[in-house]
Amino acid sequence: MPAVSSRGKGRRTVVEINMVPFIDVMLVLLIIFMVTAPMLTPGNIDVPTAGKSSKPAAKNIAYVLLEKDGRVIFKTKNTEQQIALPELQGIATSWKHSDPEHTAIQILADKTLPYESVVQAMAQLQAAEVRVALGVKSSSN
């Protein structure tokens, strides 16, 4: 039954939403989640492994090798040079403009390297506006 307020001459009804049932349901759900959460066991995620591509490799491709000791090596068909990561954008830009046949630069990172290093190299190459491919450096390289 709605509440009635009397102010002055007329009587006016005050309509409010009863929040008690809503709060009761939410508290029951909270208790259920609190009881069942410790019973859940975290599952293992199967991360895909790196495999070989079925497509042939591009002819004019350069490689950025990210070593686990922090070295960055820019490698083309004819040259190989050790560089600092901030220099990568300029070298990639000059490599792209030297020959229009250049197709992409592939980042080959050691699989024990933090992904942050790969993202920094990828950002440098994208700022140079070259196509970027990712790869995993195998232990035999």
Domains in the chain, CATH or no CATH each:
3-39 (no CATH), 61-137 (3.30.420.270)
Q: Tell me the CA distances in angstroms from 46 to 12, 49, 111, one per residue in order.
A: 65, 9, 16
Closest CA to 74 of 50, 108, 103, 99: 108
- Outline where DSSP puts E strands in the chain: 3-6, 11-14, 61-66, 72-75, 80-83, 104-110, 132-137
pTM for this predicted structure? 0.55
Are 129 and 97 spatial neighbours (Cβ–Cβ below 8 Å)? no
The predicted pLDDT at position 133 comes to 84
Kindly report the length of the chain: 141
Greater pLDDT, 27 or 50: 27
pLDDT confidence band for 130 (50 / 70 / 90):
confident
Query: What mean pLDDT, rounded, does the chain reach?
Result: 81
The predicted pLDDT at position 141 comes to 47
Tens-digit pLDDT profile for residues 17-34: 889 999 999 999 999 999
